[in-house]
Amino acid sequence: MKNSNYNPGGNFTTLIDNQDNSVSSSQFSAIAKKILKPPIEQIGFISNGIKTDYKLEMMGGEMCVNALRSLGLWIYQTTGDTKLTVESSGTNDLINLEIQTWSKIILPRKYTVKKLSKTLKIVLLEGICHFVLENPPLEEKYIRDTLQKLKKTYSYLIQDYAAIGLMCVDKSRLIPLVEVIPTKTQFFETACGSGTLAAYIASNFSLKAWEQPSGSIFITNHDDNHFYLNGPVEQI
């Protein structure tokens, strides 16, 4: 298996070429646990799609925006193609990618948002869900404890998700904590694409530029049918 490492504006990602199907999905979690060492925060496996040439299967079966944007660069480096359609774990929708100076992901506009309190919303996306909390204390212990409390309180909303995040929003700055249930891993991610989209939705689409913990800026937008997220990706 050949591994490639990417930095999609933070949220360091390892992609494993599994197009020969040498690894079964039942082995993903065990392999990921062996590879997950700083600065790597997540693992994705590249396989052959059913409707497209490529499918990204995440270590916990979730959908990950930043890993998909990294896959876009991997395919570009392999084929030279700049406009791509791929498949992903966590969703049955096809995902479009555009590779220019940055890597843009185009997602179907499918979501549910619920207001849970004055400062708290939950955004349910395809393959992942996020709590979005405005202006909380930014101490690490407080954020971890808050996610655990929210998981218990709202277990009926999140029980079908393989990955759950808490996005702490300070103006346009994002502090993302993400837990992948099958691998029993939890990271303060240095960037989070799906969490950025969740924060964008929770803001009623009022904020479009989001600062990640890495210092990178992700740009969000939407139209009637799609969400767009654009940000840097580089191989490391």
* CB of 70 closer than 8 Å to CB of 13: yes
- 104-121 confidence digits (pLDDT tens): 999 999 999 999 999 999
* CB of 82 closer than 8 Å to CB of 98: yes
**Residue 101's pLDDT is what?**
87
* C-alpha to C-alpha distance for 188 and 228, rounded to whole angstroms: 23
Instruction: Mention every residue, 6+ apart, whose C-beta is less than 8 A from residue 113.
Output: 121, 122, 123, 124, 201, 202
Q: Residue 227 to residues 44, 123, 155, 193, 233: CA-CA distances in angstroms? A: 22, 14, 27, 11, 19
Q: Give the domains, in start order, of the chain with CATH numbers.
A: 2-107 (3.10.310.10), 112-234 (3.10.310)
Quick one: CA dihedral 136, 212, 111, 42, positive or negative?
negative
What single DSSP character describes residue 106? E
Q: Which residues of the chain have pLDDT under 70?
A: none
**pTM for this one?**
0.94
**Residue 203's pLDDT is what?**
97
For residue 163, the surrounding DSSP H or E stretch is strand 163-170
**Residue 13's pLDDT is what?**
98
**Residue 1's pLDDT is what?**
76
Q: Residue 7 to residues 38, 60, 67, 98, 102: CA-CA distances in angstroms? A: 12, 20, 9, 17, 12
Tell which residue, 55, 56, 7, 41, has the closest CA to residue 180.
41
Tell which residue, 16, 27, 84, has the closest CA to residue 56.
16
* C-alpha to C-alpha distance for 118 and 109, rounded to whole angstroms: 25
* Number of other CB atoms surrounding residue 212 within 10 Å: 26
* Number of other CB atoms surrounding residue 181 within 10 Å: 17
Tell which residue, 85, 66, 53, 48, has the closest CA to residue 11.
66
**Residue 21's pLDDT is what?**
93
